[in-house]
Amino acid sequence: MRCSYIRLLVNDYEACFRFYADVLKLPVLWGDEVSRYAEFDVRSGTRLALNQREVMAEALETDTADPALPHQDRLAVIFEVDDVDETAAGLVASGARLVMEPRDWTAWGIRAAHFRDPDGYLLEVNSPLVPLV
């Protein structure tokens, strides 16, 4: 497993985008002020990503009142793996709490599964979808 992204799940996407792009002057690798998702170069093997909070909540079907989640997620740690299904099965067997089973997120270009750590933080394991030949 390789930590590939730290994803901030933000309320005011446009203001946050301008902050990281214009104030911190991080190079934008993907996205823009209105895309609701962007990636920034932080000069390491791990990227910083911004995601509109509601987009992630809708994708994970956590946009309803859940007593275990008094507030929507604010952060996700993303790990790139070779095989999402195998990794997810191993994590479940080891006791990880599954949030969303492995599935293809074609709009995102990845196969991913989502988990929560013991404190409730959102974790994602993913791998790029391989284009059909």
Q: What residue ranges do the domains of the chain occupy?
A: 2-128
Topology adopted by domain 2-128: 2,3-Dihydroxybiphenyl 1,2-Dioxygenase; domain 1 (3.10.180)
**27-45 tens-digit pLDDT:** 999 999 999 999 999 989 8
| Position with higher pLDDT, 27 vs 10 | 27
Phi/psi of residue 58, each to 5°? -65, -40
Does residue 57 contact residue 99 with C-beta atoms inside 8 Å?
A: no
Residue 70 has pLDDT above 50, yes or no: no
**Residue type at 5?**
Y
Torsion 99-36-16-109 (CA) sign: positive
Q: What is the pLDDT of residues 93-112, one digit of tens each?
A: 998 889 999 999 998 899 99
Give me the pLDDT at residue 126, please: 95
The answer to whether residues 56 and 9 touch, using CB atoms and an 8 Å cutoff, is yes
pTM: 0.74
What pLDDT is attached to residue 69? 54
